[in-house]
Amino acid sequence: MSQHSKDDISRIGRQQRRPPPTPYRSIFTVPEPIKQLFDRFPLLTYPANELPQRAPQNRNAHILHVFTTDREALKGAPSFNPACLKWQAYLKFSHVDFQIASANNHASPSGALPFLLPASSDPLKPTQAVPSGKLQRWAMNNSSRSIEEPSDVQYEAYLSLLDHRIRRAWLYSVYLSHNSTSIAEPLYILPTSTNPFVRLTIARDLRLAAENELLKFSTVVNAETLHNQAEEAFAALETLLGDNRWFFGASGPGLFDASVFAYTHLLLDAKLGKGWVDTRLRDALISRKHLVRHRNRVLAKYFSSS
């Protein structure tokens, strides 16, 4: 036998002894035993879970999410937060049919309350939330009543009294004065958790946020200055309203009326009345008879059912 024949026989023997090549496996390849298992027991697609019981069940209505309790939400009572109550009142002025739901900032897409979920015929179909900054435009597009907004050149100046002077005094009174334990704690802190360390953290964060907001306008937080400025603002608003039913002599309430009501109602609300340990801000309002009547007028006409 030639040498070439012996080499061929040897090569053929080595090929026969060589194990078959391992098929290529991707990291995404399902192992055969598991594949066989799921071939016998195929995966099922289960229907979507039902909404939680506390979620609004009637999605045929617009839902305004505000700071409130579940019990007060069922009654449609005014929110205990000025920013929320402002838009709650404005939507009522606009004759928008809506319900309110208890929420917190963590539940808001923008990180702040209020926000509105428009009505949907399909409870499982998500709707685009409307943040507070877009609520006025949304209300104008979805209202059966056109709200008359003032064209007074001094409108912005008077609005700044609310957005700055009165708001700053409110922040101090609720979060930094002795009222923090009698108003802020039961409304904003205790409902969030039963854990004492969580409550302490939230209380600290609220105080720090209020203090930082006040320090944007002054190097120090001076309670006397804040209350004096708020008292001057209430006096100016009292003069502006005069004997008119609504601000700027309008035929019906508008956004400015809602902004004023958001503070005057909470300062005069009997439910919060016992919580005012430091009463300086509340006392500055009580003597303003026109503002008190304005608050009572809005409460009777638009919140009587609650």
Residues 190, 79 share a domain: no
Q: Which long-range contacts (CB under 8 A, 24 or more apart) does 43-49 make?
A: 48/124
What are the tens digits of pLDDT across the range 84-118? 999 999 999 999 999 999 998 888 888 889 999 99
Q: What is the pLDDT of residue 106?
A: 83
Q: What is the pLDDT of residue 223?
A: 96
Report which of 216, 214, 238 is spatially closest to residue 227, judged by C-alpha positions. 214
Number of domains into which the chain is organized: 2
Residues 90, 202 share a domain: no
Residues 269, 137 share a domain: no
Q: Average pLDDT over the chain, rounded to whole? A: 85
In a domain, 110, yes or no: yes
In a domain, 146, yes or no: no
Calpha distance 13→17 (Å, rounded):
6
Q: What is the CATH number of the domain that holds 90?
A: 3.40.30
pTM: 0.79
Q: Is 100 helix (H, G, I), strand (E, B) or coil?
A: strand
In a domain, 88, yes or no: yes
Least confident of 33-42, 64-73, 158-167: 33-42
Decide which of 82, 106, 141 is a domain's last residue: 141
What are the tens digits of pLDDT across the range 218-252? 999 999 999 999 999 999 999 999 999 999 999 99
162's tokens: 């609310």
Residues 287, 210 share a domain: yes
Are 259 and 165 within 8 A, CB to CB?
no
147 or 189: which carries more pLDDT confidence? 189
In a domain, 102, yes or no: yes
Calpha distance 255→257 (Å, rounded):
5
Residues 222, 198 share a domain: yes
In a domain, 15, yes or no: no
Question: Could you give the angle at which helices 82-93 and 255-268 cross, rounded to 10 degrees?
Answer: 130
pLDDT band at 3 (very low <50, low <70, confident <90, very high): low
Are 230 and 166 within 8 A, CB to CB?
yes
Least confident of 53-62, 119-128, 156-165: 53-62
Report phi then psi at 244, rounded to 5: -70, 150
In a domain, 21, yes or no: no
Decide which of 141, 167, 199 is a domain's last residue: 141
Instruction: Indicate if the pLDDT at residue 45 is higher than 70.
Output: no
Report which of 273, 285, 262, 205 is spatially closest to residue 66, judged by C-alpha positions. 262
Q: Which domain holds residue 276?
A: 153-303
Residues 279, 207 share a domain: yes
Q: Average pLDDT in the 118-123 region?
A: 79
Helix, strand, coil fractions of the chain, as percent rounded to 5 = 55, 5, 40
How far is CA 193 from each of CA 54, 131, 259, rounded to the nearest angstrom?
17, 26, 31
Q: What is the pLDDT of residue 105?
A: 87
Q: What is the pLDDT of residue 121?
A: 74
Residues 158, 289 share a domain: yes
Q: Average pLDDT in the 129-154 region?
A: 87
In a domain, 42, yes or no: no
Are 86 and 131 within 8 A, CB to CB?
no
Calpha distance 175→186 (Å, rounded):
12
**∠ CA 168-75-110, rounded to 5°:** 45
Report which of 203, 260, 217, 215 is spatially closest to residue 82, judged by C-alpha positions. 260
**77: DSSP letter:** P
Calpha distance 116→128 (Å, rounded):
9
Residues 71, 116 share a domain: yes
What are the tens digits of pLDDT across the range 259-269? 999 999 999 99
CB atoms within 10 A of CB 191: 15
Q: Is 88 helix (H, G, I), strand (E, B) or coil?
A: helix
Residues 187, 74 share a domain: no
Residues 289, 174 share a domain: yes
What is the chain's Cα-based Rg? 32
In a domain, 260, yes or no: yes
Decide which of 109, 141, 173 is a domain's last residue: 141
User: Which residue's entry shows tokens 């008190």?
Assistant: 292
HSE-CB at 173 with a 13 A cutoff on CA atoms is 26
Instruction: Indicate if the pLDDT at residue 50 is higher than 50.
Output: no
Residues 175, 285 share a domain: yes
Residues 285, 210 share a domain: yes
Q: What is the pLDDT of residue 82?
A: 97
Calpha distance 139→133 (Å, rounded):
11
Least confident of 27-31, 152-156, 231-235: 27-31
